[in-house]
Amino acid sequence: MIIVMAGMLFLGRIKASWYEERVRLLASMCTFVRMARESIAYLSLPPDGIVAAASGRQDMKNVAFLRELAASDIASEGFLTPWSKALSSLPLNEDERALLLSWGAVLGKSDRDSQIFSCDGALCALEKFKNDAAAEASKQGRMWTSLGAIGGVFAVIMLV
């Protein structure tokens, strides 16, 4: 019976972790856009150089979208095509996806100041999305964990 309760609680935590994963993803996106901004402003790196520099950072080693970008040929394809492919499999809502696609369309295609301005705008919006997602993850995390615990108690009562 304890196993049933623990299993239900575990299922509740799994559901809650989906929300937490989205917060981590948005935080990684913020870090990548911030790094892109710095690389453009101070080093004048092209998009493939930005991806290579970001992929080499220790704190970005396990970021799936960066691995996919690093494996593509950005120098010949341009940034937007691999960026669109990398974003397609991520758990983003429509507003977040649209923002990141429009940011990706500017990267490497316009002058330095326009790219920096685009990075600033994307960072501002991504921070808001991340904060909203963190609040939602907190709320949903409590709810799903509680539902798992209640479901476990209910299942035990039904078995007894």
pLDDT digits (tens, 9 = 90+) for 72-109: 999 888 899 999 999 998 999 999 999 999 999 999 99
pLDDT top residue among 3 and 98: 98
As for how many domains the chain has, the answer is 1
- Domain range for 115 is 2-159
Q: What integer pLDDT is reported at residue 11 of this predicted model?
A: 66
Q: How many CA atoms lie within 13 A of 23 on its CB side?
A: 16
Q: How many CA atoms lie within 13 A of 98 on its CB side?
A: 3
CA 106 to chain centre: 20
Task: Output the six-digit token pair for 28.
Answer: 């990684």
Q: How confident is the model at residue 136 (pLDDT cuts 50, 70, 90)?
A: confident
Question: Residues 28-57: pLDDT tens digits?
Answer: 999 999 999 999 999 999 999 999 999 988
- The angle formed by the CA atoms of residues 149, 150 and 155, to the nearest 5 degrees, is 100
- The total number of residues written for the chain in this structure: 160
| pLDDT greater than 80 at residue 69 | yes
- The angle formed by the CA atoms of residues 25, 107 and 32, to the nearest 5 degrees, is 25
Q: 29: which residues sit within 8 A by CB, 6+ positions away?
A: 65, 100, 126, 130
| pLDDT greater than 90 at residue 156 | no
Indicate the range of 2-11, 73-82, 123-132 predicted with least confidence.
2-11
C-alpha–C-alpha distance, residues 65 and 31, integer Å: 13
Task: Output the six-digit token pair for 80.
Answer: 């937007």
The single-letter code of the amino acid at 121 is G
Which residue's structure tokens are 């990141």?
A: 100
